Structure 1
Amino acid sequence: MLELKNISKHYNVAGTDFTALDNISLKFRKNEFVSILGQSGSGKTTMLNIIGGLDRYSSGDLIINNTSTSTYSDRDWDRYRNHSVGFVFQSYNLISHQSILSNVELALTLSGVNKKERRQRAKEMLEKVGLGEHINKKPTQLSGGQMQRVAIARALINDPDILLADEPTGALDSETSEVIMELLKEIANEKLVIMVTHNPELAERYSTRIINLKDGHIIDDTMPYEDSTKNEVELTSNNKTSMSFFTALALSFNNLLTKKARTILTAFAGSIGIIGISLILSLSTGAQDYIDRIQADTLTMYPITIEDNAIDLSSLLELQENNNDDKEDKDKKDDKLVTTKNVTTQMLTGMQAFTGTTENNLNNFKKHIENNKDQLKDLTNAIDYGYNINLNLYNKIDDKITKLNPFEYIDNPAEDSGFATSSSNQPLNAWEELLGNKNLLESQYDLVEGKWPEKKEELVLFVDKDNQLSDLSLYQLGILNPNDLKEKQEKIAKGEEVNEIDKDISYDEILKLTFKYIPSVSFYENKDGSWISKEDDQELLEKLYDDALELKIVGIVKASEDSSVESESGKVGYTKELTDYIIENVNNTEIAKEQLDNQEIDVFTKKPFLKAGEEIQPAKLEELPENIRTYVSTLPEKEQKEALINFAEASKNTLEDNLKTLGIVDKASPNFINLYPKDFESKEKIDDFIKDYNSNIDDENNQIKYTDFVGLIMSSVSSIINVISYLLIGFVSISLIVSSIMIGIITYVSVLERTKEIGILKSIGASKKDISRVFNAETIIIGLLSGSLGILITGLLILPANRIIKSLTGVNNFAVLPIKASLLLILLSVTLTLIAGIIPSRIAAKKDAVEALRTE
């Protein structure tokens, strides 16, 4: 069954060779009680360790069932120790942080026995050794004899063929020793029991065979065994030994519980890196979110706007920068000389370019956008097409129908001063279509009262952050009578004192405001084939007002506290549905259809429009209004002819003039396109999108031209953000390295502390992989605890941090740690501790079992 054949074992101690066993040959029966006696250093324990597979022989062979072990792999020895051999040690070698039930179960766990079965078998084994009532106690709660019986129960739990006992009574009193010896004697009736002892009396009383060793040699054997292979049993098992990960977790968790204070301090120390990282991440996330909001808000206020008639100011704005770069490559001949820098040519060239107006073909560009919507979807918050619609709005003020939009109640002094411009002549307009992205609007503005518009009849009023409206807005909304402005302007012009407006308006009053939309085309009547304006007809106006579409303010909004947009106080927003309704309604009228069907004839005069290059013919005197006709007739003939030409030129309409007057809009040709980028990076990609479009247009006149003001001003923002991000990443990397080194050191300390446990695990068949798994489990627990503690502490620190930031910047909830980031940081903590523990766990796995068991 078991044979030692010419076994020798040599050690090198401090450079000196030492022989523990010298050419030992022994054979054992399958069931007998063998006691090995000898003085200290005779080789008794070495022989026992070699038989148990804890130590390796230097030469010779260990024969098991006529099979040499010289070719055994580590896995073979692990199986042998787990299934065929049971160890009982003088110092018991129980794992103190496990219950005695768990200690006994451990060998079954390595054998792959399921939890229910191994618990049942462990209980039965403890009952056999008389400890059925103590299964939940820890080893430190038992007497020496009880602990030794636990060790015997653990040794027998896998029903091994060999029981090896190393001084099993050495630490016990005589009475307890006899109890243990009786138990071993009973076991020897069925198994091979080999016991090392210094007590010859106990050996004589209980052993069936005594072997004496001296200086590594056998000097006496009371019952040598001759060869006999009959009825031999299979000593080894083919079952693999493997410790489950959950068992490794339980071992490590219970070990950590025995050192609660140190475990908590270790976890806290490990969490410092995670706290640093998570705080940085919280701040950087908050900063990035804030920057994103600023970008979105900025780009909402300053979208990429492409107009049908555009002036490209880019060359003029970049002129100074180019001029500054010109001199950099020139060598200075003398530092004391003042040199000349030529800028006039470039400046005049730039001004020449500035004075030119470019027409953009937005019809083709809109088609290009619609065909590439998927490409722009991820780059933009919204794409809005703008049209010059005539939003004629009326309301009854003091029982009189009053036109509120276009607002034409303020005279422009610039007209009389000679400084009037096309923009200064435009009437004030408080009405605009809402941004197409409702989610973006709701993120930037808070609903003060009511709701956001959902239908074409619904409007929303914008107030400033202090819930204020300007007095001008009150006039534009009809809350104050706009006719009073004429009188007020006259008083100011005369230097007279005027009363300031001090009026509070309730939300209910605002939400009751309604307006009537009357299209311009409704005022034209076909008379004898010509269309005549009847805008001054009060009776017609009353009828149109009664039948007009009613618009109602349904909500009041203002810029949210966290938003950087400024509420355009007094602005009234309407939906795209209203725009579409107005365009469709106007385009389907009779006068609009007539003008669109015959675009060469003026529907008002029934005369052809003036063609390009065609000379303007003087007007006929009888065609002039009576007062003008009387004045012109008094002029000399030459001046009279010039006056008639001037009148003809002033009264000559173009197709574009008529379409604008009537409010006719071609949806395929917007007047402007607003592209709202999500951020500056997206804006750059949209710029590239437009450049790609232009690159495919051969005719420069059809290429898109616009001025990118935001791009020119904010081009460095992305670079700044990237630099800050790189600095944060560098700081985080240092924290991670420090944390990893610290966890590695702590794990190594744990390896040193649990060295004896390593030996115990190996003695019951744990493999190197199992030992590594135990310490990997410990690092995972530490990592999980450190990460969770780090996130918890970060959450607590964020609260005062946000208060401080709020007091300094006015920004609410700046620092935010997303849940997903928290989970990733905990996972990162576990991963880093696991990596940090690789070297210590390998050191643990490579520890010599015999040396480990000797550790106290």
Structure 2
Amino acid sequence: MIILRNIKKYYKLSNESIEVLKGVSLHLQKGQLICLLGESGCGKSTLLNIIGGLDYADDGEYIFHSINVREFNEKEWACLRREKIGFVFQSFNLIPHLSALENVEMSMTLLGKSKEERKRRAIELLNMVGLGDKLNYLPNQLSGGQKQRVAIARALANDPDIILADEPTGALDSENSARIMEILKKISQQGKVVLVVTHSQELVSYADRIIRMRDGKIIENEDVAHATEVEDVDKSIGNKSKKLDLLTTCKLSFRNIKNKKWRNILTALGASIGIFGLSIIMALGNGVKQKLSSSIDEATAKSSLTVANEQFAVLNENDSARLREIKGVRDIYPYNPFQISMKTKEGAKATSSAESLSPRKYAEIIYGQKYIVKGRFPDDQRDEIVLPERIAKKLFKDSKEAVGKNVSLVVQLMSLKEIYPTVNVHATIVGVVKNNSIPLLDMVGISYGLSQKIMKESIGNSTSALSFTIIPSSIKDIAHLKSEIKKMGYKVQTDEESQNEINEYISLASIALGMLSGISLIVSSIMIGIVLYVSVLERTREIGILKALGAFRSDIRRIFVTEGMLIGIIGGVFGILGSIAVGKAANYVVTTVMKKSNLDLFQFSFIQVVLLVLFSGLLGVLASFVPANKAAKQPAVEALRHE
């Protein structure tokens, strides 16, 4: 069944090569309990590790079921261990955060057996070793003898051909030692090879065969009892390369996160800072864009064109004349923005932005039907204005009282190129208009005639303007007009395009702020990487256990990558919840405390929230690659020796 021929093993110490196994030859038969005796350092554990594929011979032949397996690669050895080899260790090597039942199930999970089959087999084996009442106990709730019985049950889970026991009674008292050896004896009588490495002479009485080693050589190989007769069924060596399933991977990762919950919670909180910043910025951008969109009447957004000089210089009569010559122009009139201070007879004051209104005949085209909510649209020939509801309430407490009242105005033309003198005028409030969705965009409307009077006093010409509004003959003419006006060297756009331009600036600002949050994300990713690196060091023995059970490198890597992903997702959820709490609180302050109704500045998108959480998980995955690769590359034999 198992034949070793001239097996040699060397270890390098500094520049010196030390021969640990010196041409060991051995034939292991079914149905025997074999005791491998020898003093510490004689090479017996090294030989056991080579038989189990945890270590590799440097020379010689290793025949397993008529196949020379010495040249097997790491993955082929993992498949062989899954199906054909069971391990029992002196220090038990149970995974601490799994129950007795789950520890036994683990090797079957790696082999790809169904959940029902795993559970049935694990319960059967634990009952066999007398632990049917301890199924859900964690290793730290079991005695040493009980732990070793769980380890034996785990070793038998996939019905292997050979059980390799390295000092299985070394950490037990005499009573438990006897019980463990009796179990191993019964296993050998079922037709399996049971190889027990020990230096205890007391265990010899259980052996069917005794092999003694000294200085890397076998010095005695004696049968002391007849092997149990077993039908020699030569099982083929499979190559079941089924990977650890996602559910088990997540369970192992989540259990470790739970075991170190405070450390991982703090790490997740650190990871949440960047997501919090991005979420708040995106929510604010959503809110501002939505309010800008709602402030423009869809029916009027494309009904007129605004024309300005590329250098933001004042346009004059010559510019107006040139523009009127374009086919498709119905009318053209000046448009000017102002900064305005208002004062009532009672002494109430308010400051606001203002704009020159269109001639009355175009009011519905430019502003829509619902522009005026109280009163009327200003007369072109009179000194009249309209106020947003918000400003009317500020000046008169009740916006209804504003209509018909006279106010003193100090008006200044707003320009990016020059500072213009202020103009003092008086005007009558004849209407109240709906509030803009964004208070900063509330505009006082100045009648067409009054605005021309202000321009004449300000720059000496009533027909000059910072921009012109063009009314097209038909909406179908918009594209043609834009093309012709651009050819003439002017800047031209509709209200809708103005809004889109503002949205672009908001997006750029969001990106700039998001880059600052990106620094936090980089730092948090490094934090996750460090925490996982520490986790790898702490769980080195667990990595060795999983490899001894037949886990592939990819399985080990996936466990730690999944752990990084889970920490990232938890951090993302923390960040999202924090940003929603802050955003909702800010909205409450603005709408309730500051009495700015319907002004939800922070608006969260479900899709954006989900994408941010997934992005946080992706960062966790990226951060985990280095520690996960380190874990995957750990040699099994060295990992099992780790303290």
- TM-score normalized by structure 1? 0.57
Aligned to 2:172: 172
Aligned to 2:435: 559
Structure whose alpha-carbon radius of gyration is higher: 1
Alignment of structure 1 residues 688-707 onto 2, 5 Å: 690-692=481-483
Matched, 1:155 2:177: no
Q: What is the identity percentage for the equivalent residue pairs of Structure 1 and Structure 2?
A: 38
Deviation readout 1:802-833 (Å, 9 max, x if unpaired)? 46667789583212332211111100011110
Task: Indicate which of 761, 774, 794 corresponds to 2:559.
Answer: 774
Matched, 1:97 2:97: yes
Aligned to 2:543: 758
Aligned to 2:262: 261
| Structure 1 alignment gaps of length 5 or more | 307-311, 322-346, 366-384, 387-422, 449-461, 474-499, 503-555, 571-669, 677-685
Matched, 1:849 2:636: yes
Aligned to 1:746: 531
Specify the code of the residue in structure 1 equivalent to 2:279: S
Would the alpha carbon gap of residues 820 and 112 (structure 1) be closer, same or farther in structure 2, given more than 3 Å must change?
same
Aligned to 1:283: 284
Provide the secondary structure at the position in 1 that maps to 2:194: strand
Q: Measure, in 2, the Cα distance between the counterparts of 1:301 and 1:469.
A: 29
Q: Measure, in 1, the Cα distance between the counterparts of 2:22 and 2:531.
A: 42
Deviation readout 1:195-240 (Å, 9 max, x if unpaired)? 001111212x1000010111101111113999x9993522522433
Provide the secondary structure at the position in 2 that maps to 1:236: coil
Q: Measure, in 2, the Cα distance between the counterparts of 1:157 and 1:714.
A: 68
Provide the secondary structure at the position in 1 that maps to 2:400: coil
Residues 31 and 230, structure 2, Cα contact 8 Å, conserved in 1: no
Provide the secondary structure at the position in 2 that maps to 1:169: coil
Residues 463 and 569, structure 1, Cα contact 8 Å, conserved in 2: no
Task: Indicate which of 814, 817, 820 corresponds to 2:607.
Answer: 820
> How far is 1:724 from its partner?
2.4
Specify the code of the residue in structure 2 equivalent to 1:790: G
| Structure 2 alignment gaps of length 5 or more | 332-355, 375-386, 394-398, 406-427, 448-469
Would the alpha carbon gap of residues 28 and 735 (structure 1) be closer, same or farther in structure 2, given more than 3 Å must change?
same
Matched, 1:73 2:73: yes
Would the alpha carbon gap of residues 250 and 734 (structure 1) be closer, same or farther in structure 2, given more than 3 Å must change?
same
Specify the code of the residue in structure 1 equivalent to 2:606: I
Task: Indicate which of 388, 394, 400 corresponds to 1:468.
Answer: 400
Task: Indicate which of 762, 769, 788 corresponds to 2:573.
Answer: 788
Q: Measure, in 2, the Cα distance between the counterparts of 1:116 and 1:320.
A: 81
> How far is 1:737 from its partner?
1.7
Would the alpha carbon gap of residues 155 and 261 (structure 1) be closer, same or farther in structure 2, given more than 3 Å must change?
same
Provide the secondary structure at the position in 1 that maps to 2:223: coil
Residues 82 and 765, structure 1, Cα contact 8 Å, conserved in 2: yes
Aligned to 1:135: 135
Residues 248 and 774, structure 1, Cα contact 8 Å, conserved in 2: yes
Q: Measure, in 2, the Cα distance between the counterparts of 1:565 and 1:107.
A: 70
Specify the code of the residue in structure 1 equivalent to 2:278: I
Aligned to 1:20: 20
Of 209-218 and 713-722, more deviation after overlay is shown by 713-722
Residues 303 and 674, structure 1, Cα contact 8 Å, conserved in 2: no
Provide the secondary structure at the position in 2 that maps to 1:60: strand
Residues 300 and 366, structure 2, Cα contact 8 Å, conserved in 1: no
Residues 303 and 365, structure 2, Cα contact 8 Å, conserved in 1: no
> How far is 1:258 from its partner?
1.7
> How far is 1:158 from its partner?
0.5
Would the alpha carbon gap of residues 36 and 432 (structure 1) be closer, same or farther in structure 2, given more than 3 Å must change?
same
Number of equivalenced pairs: 551
Specify the code of the residue in structure 2 equivalent to 1:468: K
Aligned to 2:221: 221
Aligned to 2:411: none
Q: Measure, in 2, the Cα distance between the counterparts of 1:261 and 1:77.
A: 38
Matched, 1:358 2:318: no
Deviation readout 1:26-57 (Å, 9 max, x if unpaired)? 01112211100001000011011100111111
Alignment of structure 1 residues 582-731 onto 2, 5 Å: 672=472, 690-692=481-483, 721=506, 724-731=509-516
Matched, 1:833 2:617: no
Specify the code of the residue in structure 1 equivalent to 2:286: T
Aligned to 1:656: none
Specify the code of the residue in structure 1 equivalent to 2:525: S
> How far is 1:464 from its partner?
3.9
Would the alpha carbon gap of residues 165 and 318 (structure 1) be closer, same or farther in structure 2, given more than 3 Å must change?
closer
Residues 756 and 852, structure 1, Cα contact 8 Å, conserved in 2: yes
- TM-score normalized by structure 2? 0.75
> How far is 1:558 from its partner?
3.5
Residues 756 and 853, structure 1, Cα contact 8 Å, conserved in 2: yes
Aligned to 1:84: 84
Q: Measure, in 2, the Cα distance between the counterparts of 1:151 and 1:250.
A: 20
Aligned to 1:627: none
Provide the secondary structure at the position in 2 that maps to 1:24: strand
> How far is 1:693 from its partner?
6.7
Of 238-247 and 557-566, more deviation after overlay is shown by 557-566
Provide the secondary structure at the position in 2 that maps to 1:137: coil
> How far is 1:752 from its partner?
0.8
> How far is 1:314 from its partner?
5.2
Would the alpha carbon gap of residues 211 and 286 (structure 1) be closer, same or farther in structure 2, given more than 3 Å must change?
same
The alignment yields a C-alpha RMSD, in angstroms, of: 4.4
Would the alpha carbon gap of residues 689 and 200 (structure 1) be closer, same or farther in structure 2, given more than 3 Å must change?
farther
Residues 30 and 192, structure 1, Cα contact 8 Å, conserved in 2: yes
Alignment of structure 1 residues 301-320 onto 2, 5 Å: 305=304, 320=313
Q: Measure, in 2, the Cα distance between the counterparts of 1:97 and 1:724.
A: 48
Q: Measure, in 2, the Cα distance between the counterparts of 1:427 and 1:31.
A: 107
> How far is 1:123 from its partner?
0.7
Would the alpha carbon gap of residues 254 and 261 (structure 1) be closer, same or farther in structure 2, given more than 3 Å must change?
same
Provide the secondary structure at the position in 2 that maps to 1:188: helix
Residues 304 and 708, structure 1, Cα contact 8 Å, conserved in 2: no
Residues 565 and 619, structure 2, Cα contact 8 Å, conserved in 1: no
Would the alpha carbon gap of residues 689 and 777 (structure 1) be closer, same or farther in structure 2, given more than 3 Å must change?
farther
Residues 3 and 26, structure 1, Cα contact 8 Å, conserved in 2: yes
Would the alpha carbon gap of residues 148 and 673 (structure 1) be closer, same or farther in structure 2, given more than 3 Å must change?
farther
Q: Measure, in 1, the Cα distance between the counterparts of 2:594 and 2:474.
A: 35
Q: Measure, in 1, the Cα distance between the counterparts of 2:359 and 2:290.
A: 39
Specify the code of the residue in structure 1 equivalent to 2:324: T
Residues 86 and 160, structure 2, Cα contact 8 Å, conserved in 1: yes
Deviation readout 1:503-549 (Å, 9 max, x if unpaired)? xxxxxxxxxxxxxxxxxxxxxxxxxxxxxxxxxxxxxxxxxxxxxxx
Would the alpha carbon gap of residues 352 and 292 (structure 1) be closer, same or farther in structure 2, given more than 3 Å must change?
closer
> How far is 1:717 from its partner?
5.6
Q: Measure, in 2, the Cα distance between the counterparts of 1:32 and 1:435.
A: 98
